[in-house]
Homo-oligomer: A and B are copies of this chain.
Amino acid sequence: MVTIKQVSEKAGVSSATVSRVINNTGTVKEKTRELVMAAMAELGYRHNVVAASLASNKTHTIGYVVPELHGSFFGAMMGGTEQALREAKKHMLIATGHSDAQIEKEQIDALLSRRCDALILHVEAVSDEYLVNLVDQGVELVVVNRFIEEIGDNCISLDNIKGGYLASRHLLDIGHTQIAYIAGSLFKADGKNRLTGHQQALADMGVEYTDNLIYEGNFQAKSGTEGIRALVARGAKFTAVACANDEMASGAMIALRELGRRVPEDVSVIGFDNVDFASYLSPGLTTIDYPVQKIGSMAAHWVLERVYGHTRHEYQHILSPRLILRGTTSSPEQ
C-alpha cells in the first residue's frame, strides 16, 4: 500500500503538504498541488481513511440502527438519509436492533466503538432514559420515528396520533359509524398512538368506542387476516376497518375477500404508512402517508448541521401525515 510518505518523497515535498492537498486544507501553491497530484496518480495512491480518522478524530461515518432491513419501510428511510449524506461524502454504518433492548444496546455500543460521528436510531426496545443518558454523555444522536420529551431536539418523528385520527376521521366523514380497528403492537409507541388517534376521532364525532371492535395485531400482514377473522368470529359488526399499517390492511383485505365481503362496497379499508405496494393492491389502498423518506433525509440534515456544521440544512421535528385516497374506502351502502 502506498503511503503519503512515499508520495511526498516522489513529489519532493513534505508529507504535511501532501496531506494538505488531499484534504484541501491550509494553503498550497498551485504548482505544488500539481506535483503532488501527479505523484499520487503515478504511484496509485489511495487515501487511508482509517489512519486519517484516528489522527483527526473524525470518521465521517454515521451509525444507523434500524429494527430490520427487510420490508420497504426502512429501505425507504435509509434511502432518504443516504441521498442527503452522499453529497456530503459521509457514509452509513448499518446495524439492526431487532426490537430487542439487549441487541439495540450492543449495536449502539459497537457503532460508538467505531467512532461514528453521529448515530441515527430507530430503536424500539431501549428505554427513553437510556437514550436521554446517551445524549447527556455527549453522544450525537438523532432518534427517528419516536418522540422523547427530554431530548425533543434530537427527535424526528411523525405525528402518529394525528395519523390515526385522520384515518378514522375519513371513515367517519364518509358515513361510517361501525369501524373496526386492527391495531399494531400496543407496546410500541406507534401502535399505541395510532389507536389513540382513532379513539379521538370517534370521540370528536360522537361515536361510542367499544373494545369489541378492536383487535391487537403485530404490524404483520398475517395478523391483519387473523384480525378480521377474530373480529367476525366474535360477532363484531362493522362497515369499515382501519388498520395500523398497510401490511395488516392487505392481510385484512385477503380475509374479507375470503369471507365474501367486497372492498369497498361491503367494507371500507384504510391502512397506514403508504408503503410502495399500497398502490399495487386492487383496489388501490386508501391510507395515511408516512413521509418516511423525508424523515430519513431530515435525520441526515440534522446530522449535517449539528455535527458537521453545515448550515443551509433545514429540518423539522414533527412531520404531518396526510390522507391518501385510493379505492378501498367508500360510503357505507344504505
Contacts and interface: CB of A to CB of B under 8 A. Distances in A.
Given A46-B113, A94-B91, A96-B82, A70 B293 contact: yes
This chain: copies in complex: 2
Q: Is the interface of A mostly helix, strand, loop or mixed?
A: helix
A92 B93 contact: yes
A257 B280 CA distance: 12
A87 to B, nearest CB: 12
B86 A79 contact: no
A282 interface: yes
Contacts of A276: 70-72, 277
A237 interface: no
A91 B51 CA distance: 19
A111 to B, nearest CB: 8
15 contacts: A46-B113, A48-B54, A50-B50, A50-B53, A50-B54, A50-B115, A71-B75, A71-B276, A72-B72, A74-B75, A91-B111, A92-B93, A221-B280, A253-B282, A281-B281
Q: Ordered nearest first, which 7 A-B pairs have the shortest CB separation?
A: A277-B277, A69-B79, A250-B280, A75-B75, A70-B79, A72-B72, A49-B114
Interface of A: 46-51, 53-54, 59, 61, 68-72, 74-76, 78-79, 82, 86, 89, 91-96, 109-115, 221, 247, 250-251, 253-254, 257, 276-277, 279-282, 293
